[in-house]
Structure 1
Amino acid sequence: MVRWLKIGFTLLMTAILAFSLGACGAGSSGTKKKALQNVRVAEVTRSVFYTPLYVALAKGYFKEEGLDIKLTTTWGGDKTMTALLSGGTDIALVGSETSIYVYKQQAADPVINFAQLTATDGTFLVSRKKIDHFSWNMLKGSTFLGQRKGGMPQMVGEYVLKKHDIDPHKDTKLIQNIDFANIANAYASGTGDFVQLFEPNATVMEKEGKGYIVASFGKESGEVPYTTFMAKQSYLKENETSAVKFVRALLKAGKWVRKTDPEVVAKTVQPYFKDTKTDILASSIERYRSQGSFSDDMILSKSGWSTIQEIMKEAGELGQTVPYSKLVNTTIVKKAAK
């Protein structure tokens, strides 16, 4: 009896010890595992143009940096900037011109461009008819379905047309009163001879035989800080470490996009474009990649800043220029690249 009591006591102590060690181990790993930091990001639209962002999300690069990204689509530059200024989001992905508009309103807490996602315009000129030998002069006298006045697509579009001696307001019947989200549908329904479209809408038009891509505004305009990540100056001062981690994940994603087969990239970002076929996504990604639309180093250059303001002046949206040092911070990208 005593022998069995000893055996029972030994087994009990062994179980207690094992439980204690296990509990200690769980507590230890629990303390070592840091909670992810939430970062709210608002994108101006959902676009293949922003592929590196979706890759960073899909492949877990942000989580590797200790960040939990809450992405929302705000559908429009004005709504995106309102979300940022009101504290509804921490970081905005939107055209860099919006930071200039805010600065011109003498904001006490200016919006700072800290990383450039796209380095060219992302739109393409689509023709109703197939044109074997396209010339920009063909737009004269046509009905041109453009973009919203004051937005980057429209301003770059006008900039490119004027380079080819075309004044869209005088030489074309310019339509600008259709919401961004409905432009492709309006064209597919028969509005306009030419239209300015982002991917994948441009490729979809070709696939459906409703239009043909005849030129790239991105190639024609050259380097432009088209879409950048920006945040209020106060946020970047208080969260610089997180901003560096954020950019580091994006740099990793951009590198992966540049060296990976477009079809593989397309399958990776497919969950963000459930209504778009993989082959169309792959074609769109390759089109952007081949013309250098995805920024390699994510640094908004002084020359790019000069170009965007020249474009805004041409469009009549800017009087006095804003110094590069006022609204651009390259320190975060440089730290992330180390």
Structure 2
Amino acid sequence: MPPHHRSTPALSGTAAACALGLLAACGGSGDTGAKVAKDSAGRSEISVTYPTNVSNVPLHIALKKGYFKEAGLSVKAEPDLGSGSTIEAIVGGQVNMAWANTVGGLTAYSKGMGVSLVAITDTARHGNQQVLVSKKSSARELADLKGKKLAVLAPTTVCILNVRSALKAQGLPTDTITFTPVSPPEHANVLSSGEVAATCTSEPFRTQMIQKLGARSVFDTDSGDLKGYPVGGYLVTSAFAKAHPKEITAFRTALSKATRYANTHPEEVRELLPTFTGTDADVAADVVINRYLENQDAATVRPLVGRVAKAMRAYGLADEPIDVSGYFADGR
């Protein structure tokens, strides 16, 4: 199965520095991302970057159906084809907004990188993200991967959290498995070549690897104490959130409308996937679609991310407890 593009599996030096909160390495500042231009119709221009996954279908629905324009925004969305970590793009000022997995976003927030959450896109459904092994592998469960490498989407991702949780539940050390960050479209390559023993892969690449490579699952991340976890969402810098509360509200309004449409029109979700992920229609027909989150008010979102924050502390992905009270961007 050929990859959609070739990229370096691990984070670049700049991305890694950003992930660790070294703002100077990212060109960040207190005003990063705060400026917004207007188009000829007077709409605020917002640039967004995102990984090519199922979570971002409502974004494309909103673009296709003009929901952002109705809300007074001119949104330009471009895919990020790197390691699945787009936080450095907003901190460095390349874009106004970026999608990131929940653990990655909370990591950046907890390290003082000055990011705020605009919206959570979806919550996990069984089958959407799994630990896959090749059809020749003798592994049948996580314990069989002891001492081996597992490819993950990013250095900070919910898969690491869930795998550590499952290992602990089985009485195994949480460092039993070595996590290796690999760009999502490259998971098929590293698994088939034997560079890793398994991959933690989400849709649509999960279905693609099962169909084309005969890969099979030995673990589903939608399990244990994190069942139904929030997958990810859109972030901005805190400076942007403070300067543009109306744009934040407008984006949420348009996205919520698109999310409701996606939840009631799953066939159109599958039709849209090949247009921005590069997957075939037969793959899109079989993907497991997460539950898109329609309600984006703070009372709904904060408990979701708070549950992940507590698990991050419990399983070694956070050195200190994370107070999420200031994470959700205010709008008006």
Q: Does 1:64 align with 2:70?
A: yes
1:246/1:271 CA distance change after superposition, 3 Å: same
Name the Cα RMSD after superposition. Answer: 3.1
Conserved 8 A contact 1:188-1:210: no
Superimposed CA distance per residue, residues 235-267 of structure 1 (whole angstroms, 9 cap, x where no aligned partner) = 2232211221111111111111111142x3222
1:230/1:38 CA distance change after superposition, 3 Å: same
1:304/1:40 CA distance change after superposition, 3 Å: same
Deviation of 1:304 (Å) = 2.1
Superimposed CA distance per residue, residues 250-305 of structure 1 (whole angstroms, 9 cap, x where no aligned partner) = 1111111111142x3222343213x3112311321xx123xx3x223235534323
In 2: Cα distance, 1:187 partner to 1:70 partner: 34
Q: Spell out the pairing of 1:39-54 with structure 2 (5 A cutoff).
A: 39-43=46-50, 45-54=51-60
Conserved 8 A contact 2:130-2:220: yes
The aligned length equals 286
| Correspondence for 2:283 | 280
| Correspondence for 2:251 | 246
One of 10, 26, 44 as aligned partner of 1:37: 44
Query: Which segments of 5 or more consecutive residues in structure 1 lack a partner in the other structure?
Result: 1-32
1:106/1:248 CA distance change after superposition, 3 Å: closer
| Correspondence for 1:4 | none
The structure that has the greater radius of gyration is 1
Q: Spell out the pairing of 1:192-207 with structure 2 (5 A cutoff).
A: 192-207=196-211
In 2: Cα distance, 1:150 partner to 1:76 partner: 14
One of 181, 186, 193 as aligned partner of 1:189: 193
| Correspondence for 1:163 | 169
Deviation of 1:217 (Å) = 0.8
In 2: Cα distance, 1:84 partner to 1:242 partner: 16
Q: Does 1:216 align with 2:243?
A: no
| Correspondence for 1:308 | 308
| Correspondence for 1:234 | 239
Question: Comparing both structures, which one devotes a greater share of its residues to helix?
Answer: 1
Structure 1 counterpart of 2:322, one-letter code = V
Q: TM-score, normalised by structure 2?
A: 0.73
Q: Spell out the pairing of 1:35-114 with structure 2 (5 A cutoff).
A: 35-43=42-50, 45-75=51-81, 80-107=86-113, 110-114=114-118
Conserved 8 A contact 1:142-1:193: no
In 2: Cα distance, 1:246 partner to 1:163 partner: 40
1:99/1:142 CA distance change after superposition, 3 Å: closer
Conserved 8 A contact 2:151-2:199: yes
One of 292, 295, 311 as aligned partner of 2:293: 295
SS of the aligned residue for 1:184 comes to: helix
1:104/1:248 CA distance change after superposition, 3 Å: closer
